[in-house]
Structure 1
Amino acid sequence: MADGGWIKVYRKIRQSFVWTDANQLKLWLLILMKANHAPSKFLFNGQEVSVTSGELVTGAHALAFEMNDGVRRDNQVSWRQVWRWVKRFENNGMLTIKSNTKYSVISISKWCDYQDNDNQVSIKRQSTVNQVSTNKKEEKEKKEKKEDSQHSRKREYADDSPEMIEAVYLWEKIKGNNPEHRKPSLQAWADDVRKMHELDHRPFEKIHKMIDWCQIDTFWQTNILSASKLRSKYDTMAAQANRKFAANKQPRIEKLPDWAEPDYKPEHKKASEEDRAKLAEQLKQLRSLGDKAQEAKA
């Protein structure tokens, strides 16, 4: 990839999920900038690699290094998170990945449509915008949602993908509570995890913690037996978990006895004749003991 040159970024990127996250937007632009504009060969980790236009050879650590170059340490992104985002780009049809033990080849989808034939693409896009009515736009959005739904059911999640990792983690927790529970379709569970992350905007870290919480709670561990159930009951469980956490944080207040109160005044009771007689007898016994003690000293 040459240091000079330029890439095209279309305005509709504002409608993509990458626009809502600065780091994901930065990563997507970095991938576009690193892609080759023409077929070429170069060395990567001591091995000659051939790529065509719209492709780049890289790895999770290499991308993370360039992402974090010049960034303060507390704002840097881990290589695992960088690769999760790259896999998310792939799941959304933005690119494809072919990996081996030494490197990965990333191919950007529709590279030629967006980066080549500038005039023709611009004229075609402008013409389309002028001709499409509001109703047609709505029909297109419905169609895209339907296609996305159909596509999501066909997705295959790798064993090291964050979606599959959380699906397996939930299955292991459920199996730990009930070893006889039937093994589910982990691909379907991974897709439900993806929906929690992409559609419900739940970070993988919080999904992981919710799995821990619901499989410890005596009520929810018998009710959350699938990823789809975890998704549907997530808000209810989150509210309950927050209430329990707040209750545990409240300090215990011990009630002071009456005599310890600042304005306490003891109640004076008049002694009975019987009580006075007992007290007089006790005093007499004490004086007698005192006299005996004096005599012994003498």
Structure 2
Amino acid sequence: MKGAFQISREIFQNDIWNDPVKFRIFFYIIGNAVFSHDGIEHAGMHLQRGQFLRSLRNLQDDLSYREGRGNSLKKYPLTTIQRKLKSLVKDGQITMKRTEYGTLFTVVNYATYQSFEHYKKESVEQKRNSDGTVTEQRWNNNKNVKECSNKEKEISSSRGSENPFEFYQQNIGVLKPHVSESIGLWCDDLSDEIVIAALKITVKNNANSFSYTESILREWANSGLKTVEDIRAYEMDKKDKKQKQNQKQNKPQSIPTWKQAQEVPKPKWMDNNQTHEDFEDKELQAAKEEAAKVKALLEEKRKKRSG
């Protein structure tokens, strides 16, 4: 698709800027929406200005991205895309309608975005600081612009000084875009507190890798853990099981009675494969010979004394 479109700089002050996935979806839709005032014919349908027709499966492919050393192609889960689209609808930024050819997206106030007159009326700074303007109503769904719309600051103000993004930067390293995006997705799927708990375990184990953190989060998600309390109980139970397993492995093993019996020294008569009777005969003969020697010795001494 060729051509150009306009977008207000106020997008940088809107909450959507801090949600990479949501921003990419909205930017892709508005960038591909029909620009022509008369609309166009597409797939047997008449698309009006500001509309875009696409199936969710194709949209998933359109939003694919490359990541990592291997430059592997990755895609957002359909459930994530659907959740972000619903959020855009709730914010009053788009509308959605299912058709037999796909989903029909309509950008709310598209004409206002593309009108030069709109941007000539007042500077971006004046529009950002004023209340109740058309642009602010469009971006904030008839709510006043918050002075601090940054997602990290919102999390910080609601929970104190800790939030996943700041914790990562302070304890693990530079917060790269793909890591920030992943953190945001996990926060949506689980909670900010749970993500922080996983990051703390990562730091405690000197892993310092978000891949390690994600392995923890997957384990918790697959185990159906929903709260920090559930996770504490789960980790304590896992620790107890590990300790018991180690104790079992380190415990000295007792020798069975039957094995002890095998290790009792054999009697002398069992040497050289002789029978018990043979051994007794040899012992008796040796005793007789020893007695004869002693008798002969005594007899010899007696004779010497007599002589």
TM-score (norm 1): 0.48
Bigger Rg over Cα: 2
Which structure has more relative contact order (CA 8 Å, sep 6+)? It is 2
